Amino acid sequence: MHDVPPHRLLDRRLLLFTGKGGVGKSTVVAGLAVEAARRGRQPLVVELGHRASMRGIFEAEDVGYEPTDVGRGVFACNLEFQRTLVDYMVEHVRVPRVAQTILANEALARFFRAAPAVGEVATLNKISSLVAERSRGAPRWDPVLVDLDATGHALMLLNLPRVMDGLVGNGPMRRLMDGFSALLTDPARTVLNLVTLPSELPAQETVELWGRLRVEHEVPVGALFVNQVPSLPIDDELFELLGPLRDRAEAALAGDGDAARMGAEVVAGVELTRRLLLKRERAQAQIDRLRTDVPLPLVQIDQLATGYLDLEHIARLGRRAVQDLEALSG
Amino acid sequence: MADGPAPATDSLERLLLDKDLLVAVGPGGVGKTTISAAMALQAARMGRNTLVLTIDPARRLAQALGLDGLDDAVQEVSVQALTDAGVDVRGKLYAAMLDTGTSFDTLMARIAPNPQVERSILDNRVYRAMAGTLAQSHAYVAMERLYEVMGDERFDLVILDTPPTRNALDILDAPGALTSFLEENVVKWFVRPRTGLAGRLWSTGSFATTRLLSAVMGPELVAEMTSFFESFYELREGFSERADRARAYLRHPRTAFVMVSSADPANLGDAKNLADGIRGRGVEIEATVFNRCYEPFGDDRLAVITEVDPCPADEVVDTLWPTAKERGRVKQLVEGLARVQARTAAINARAQRSMAAFQLPGRAARVLVARLDHDIRDLQGLAELSPWLCPDR
């Protein structure tokens, strides 16, 4: 595995993202795409099949198989299985119309859907094509960001050339697999990034994934993004006053209407703040653990101040993340 | 499973008391495994002998359930462990892990009509390469396990935690899909009939397909797959029968699907897609559990506070701590507390709006579970969820 300078993340042609289900990969991918566009690039976000996160995040009408303009200078596409298979066959089978007709056969379609490896071959084929696509003498998409879905399935995809190695001869299939391998292991073109949360299960899975990547794979690994890092809108140095303030608030509970009401409010405020402080401490402990066990450049993405993410926040999040990455290299 | 119509359900409690099988579905990372285990404990508390089939529980939770991670055998959670955790349980609680890693091999062993067939499959290079990745295999393994435990007299209720498949609908599609995969008119293109005329006809009929597949997968792989299918073909009857049984359990009136999600719009989007897909396959979701969906504060932990009305900080300091030496700092802290509460209330309000927008057709029960202070990693933690799961008890 090669050492990939973190600040040049966006210079790569192909950015892959993986992480446990639910850690917010889509948000990170969207944020980085918006920032890439803001810097004058032409990013394409690729989602696989059944996921539809980009449509929701960018509030777009529909994200289809063909790259769709979703605003903010970002394009997105959704690689639905059937069409990637058709594309693959049209590209690699001599008689395209025959391929199309046979694919229209229900039974065969079901077979391919259930058959091992076929989906992965078709997906890698489409991703390769998108990376190779050119327009006016330059790469059309710059970069291609792929939301690889949960860890297990990402590994399946990355594993494919190796899995197929013993099973392909020396014909066109071999050349195709070699092409995939070359792309996936080339640090100049491709980088795999991990996304996680600062909590036990995702962190554990990230450490395990790192272990496997180091041993089993030659895919260049870039950065580790830690999402939803808790933060509190109170200066740390004020926390020593929490105890004394609470004592006085509690004393007021026995008293008259207004004082008792204020006392109750402050007691509730202190208790909530203490609980959130504990959560922040635990999250920081997980981050420390990740820094130790996963020696990758680590970028923290703060939890939102006011509810859930909208596009503005995502844009800011992406900008800050790239800035932090650049700072890490300096 | 018992015969007879299903009674009307309007609460999770009713589902835990009346159903024979609960299937927990939902997007990844929302705490489905924890909620499945918590529901199982709750059912056991209410007197039902319950088995929870879990996927990948966190190590400490697995240990608490008596699972050592070494195999997928059913373990009874000891009465002593429950007593120690301060949990009063009238029924028995069992747990088992669904080990999707080795299970496909175990499955082959169970289904193969004889050791030769089993060996030829397990040794086949295609199978070896693909066993873990066979599309939908995780879901299929879950179905096989389900088929096994539903016949076990020990359990009044089985709660099935579903695996993180690439497409969460695999759980409903898996039995049928694998059968399709082996379907007569597809696999027969590979499988050589034993005798004469049929054999010659086979060669002719499948030639075009084999050429097509060779173009797709390469001729060597097609040869391996042919050999793979010849072995697999022997198993198809077994698969078919088990697939039918699994399908029947999933669609039985005494089975209920429970959706577990967070209140995060991204997760709710996935949950909505999943619910639509499940509905499209003729199955209704009967309860939705919104896990970790609000931050509790104030006296009532079951209340979802979405607005606060703090007093001005100056007044608060004057009333509660007029003698403060560092009045400025105290005031800053009071303002900070108000900001924390306001932000928390706003997040809760946003969560509530997202949840309100997530409506399922029918009479699905809705359960809101708060964010607790800590990760749940033992029986006591699971028991803490009780007031949210069954508020009327």
Q: Which A residues in the span 43-72 are in contact with B, Cβ-Cβ below 8 Å?
A: 49-53, 56-57
Distance from CA of A137 to the nearest CA of B (A): 31
pLDDT of B202 reads 44
Inter-chain CB proximity B177 and A114 less than 8 Å: yes
Digit-coded pLDDT (tens) for B254-270: 999 999 999 987 788 77
Express as a percent the part of chain B with pLDDT over 90. 41
- Residues in B closer than 8 angstroms to A114, CB to CB, are 134-136, 177-178, 180-181
On the question of pLDDT at B11 being above 50, the answer is yes
Averaged pLDDT score across all residues of chain A:
85
Could you tell me which residues are beta bridge partners of residue A224?
A194, A298
Instruction: Give B330 to chain A, closest Cα distance, Å.
Output: 7
Q: What is the mean pLDDT of chain B?
A: 80
What values do phi and psi take at B94, rounded to 5? -120, 155
Strands A190-196 and B365-368, by their bridges, are unpaired
A238 interface with B at CB cutoff 8 Å: yes
Asked if the C-beta of A236 comes within 8 angstroms of chain B's C-beta atoms, the answer is no
Higher-pLDDT residue of B378, A51: B378
pLDDT 10s digits, B198-248: 444 444 445 555 666 666 666 776 676 676 666 666 666 776 777 778 778
Using CA atoms, how far apart are residues A225 and A18, in angstroms rounded to an integer?
A: 10
What is the 3-state secondary structure of chain A? CCCCCHHHHHHCCEEEEECCCCCCHHHHHHHHHHHHHHCCCECEEEEECCCCHHHHHHCCCCCCCCCEEEECCEEEEEECHHHHHHHHHHHHCCCHHHHHHHHCCHHHHHHHHHCCCHHHHHHHHHHHHHHHCEECCEECCECEEEECCCHHHHHHHHHHHHHHHCCCCCCHHHHHHHHHHHHHCCCCCEEEEEEECCCHHHHHHHHHHHHHHHHHCCCCEEEEEEEEECCCCCCHHHHHHHHHHHHHHHHHCCCCHHHHHHHHHHHHHHHHHHHHHHHHHHHHHHHHHHHHHCCCCEEEEECCCCCCCCHHHHHHHHHHHHHHHHHHHC
What is the mean pLDDT of the segment spanning B284-293? 95
Q: How much is the pLDDT for A24?
A: 85
More confident site: A127 or B195: A127
What's residue B34's pLDDT?
Answer: 93
- pLDDT over 70 percentage in chain B: 71
The residue of B56, B170, B320 whose CB has the most chain A CBs within 10 angstroms, and thus the best one to mutate to test that interface, is B320
Residue B165 has pLDDT above 60, yes or no: no
Decide which of B236 and A288 is more confident.
A288
Euclidean distance between CA atoms B258 and B286, whole angstroms: 6
pLDDT at B135: 46
Handedness of CA A251, A253, A256, A262 (dihedral sign): positive
Angle made by CA atoms A19, A24, A26, in degrees to the nearest 5 = 90
Shortest distance between the Cα of B61 and any Cα of chain A, in A, equals: 11
Average pLDDT over residues A215-219: 81
Distance in Å, alpha carbon of A40 to nearest chain B alpha carbon: 28
H helix or E strand, kind and range, residue B93: strand B93-97
In angstroms, the Cα distances linking A304 to A119, A309, B110 are 37, 7, 51
Q: Give percent of chain A above pLDDT 90.
A: 50
Q: Average pLDDT in the B281-297 region? A: 92
Place of tokens 């299929």: B140
In the predicted model, is pLDDT for residue A141 greater than 90? Answer: yes
What DSSP state is assigned to residue B294? S
Task: Judge whether B212 is closer than 8 Å to chain A, CB to CB.
Answer: yes
Q: Which residues partner with A192 through β-bridges?
A: A16, A221
- Minimum Cα–Cα distance from B140: chain A residue: A114
Question: How many CB pairs below 8 Å do chains A and B form together?
Answer: 220
- Cβ atoms of residues A243 and A25 within 8 Å: no
pLDDT at B175: 61
pLDDT on residue B229: 67
Residues of B within 8 A of A150 (CB-CB) are: 28, 164, 166
Q: For the segment B171-199, what is each residue's pLDDT rounded down to a tens digit?
A: 666 666 555 555 544 555 555 554 544 44
What is the chain B residue with the closest CA to A232?
B340
Confidence (pLDDT) at A14: 96
- Number of Cβ within a 10 Å radius of residue B132: 20
Written as one letter, the residue type at B177 is A
Distance CA A238, CA A22 (A): 34
Does B184 lie at the interface with A, CB-CB under 8 angstroms? no
* Higher local confidence (pLDDT), A327 or A284: A284
Structure confidence at residue A31 (pLDDT): 95
Check pLDDT > 70 for residue A210. yes
Look at B65-69, B114-118, B193-197, B360-364 and tell me which has the smallest mean pLDDT. B193-197
Which tokens sit at B151?
């016949």
**Burial grade of A330 (CB within 10 A; 0-12, 13-18, 19 or more):** exposed
> Cα–chain-centroid distance for residue B391?
23
Question: Using CA atoms, how far apart are residues B168 and B91, in angstroms rounded to an integer?
Answer: 31
Per-residue model confidence (pLDDT) at position A305: 61
CA B2 to chain centre: 23
pLDDT score recorded for residue A97 = 62
Q: How far A53 CA lies from chain B's nearest CA (Å)?
A: 7
C-alpha A201: how far from its chain's center? 17
Which pLDDT band holds residue B130 (cuts at 50, 70, 90)? low
Q: Which helix (H) or strand (E) holds B204?
A: helix B196-217
> Residue B94 in 3-state DSSP?
strand
Q: Which residues contact A259 (CB under 8 A, 6 or more apart)?
A: A252, B319, B320
CB contact under 8 A, B267 and A265: no
Q: If we measure between CA atoms, which residue out of B148, B141, B69, B157 comes closest to residue B108?
A: B141
**Three-class DSSP category at B263:** coil
Rounded Cα distance between B273 and A183, Å, is: 33
Structure tokens at A98: 């025959």
Q: What is the residue whose two structure tokens read 């024979």?
A: B20
Residue B271 vs residue A194, higher pLDDT: A194
Contact B166 A149 (CB under 8 A): yes
What is the average pLDDT across A93-112? 60
Identify the band that residue B166 occupies on the pLDDT scale cut at 50, 70 and 90. very low
Per-residue pLDDT at B362? 76
Give the one of B164, B218, B375 whose C-beta lies nearest to A199's C-beta.
Answer: B375
Q: Long-range pairs for B58-65 at CB < 8 Å and ≥24 separation?
A: B58/A200, B58/A201, B58/A204, B58/B33, B58/B375, B58/B377, B60/B377, B60/B378, B61/B33, B61/B34, B61/B37, B61/B376, B61/B377, B61/B378, B61/B381, B61/B382, B62/B97, B64/B377, B64/B378, B64/B379, B64/B382, B65/B37, B65/B95, B65/B379
Tokens 């309100």 map to which residue? B356
Query: Which residue would you say has higher pLDDT here, A258 or B43?
Result: B43
Bridge partners for B237 per DSSP: none
Q: What is the DSSP string of B48-66?
A: --EEEEESS--HHHHHHTT
Report which of A111, A165, A102 is spatially closest to residue B190, judged by C-alpha positions. A111
Cβ–Cβ under 8 Å, residues A43 and A175: no
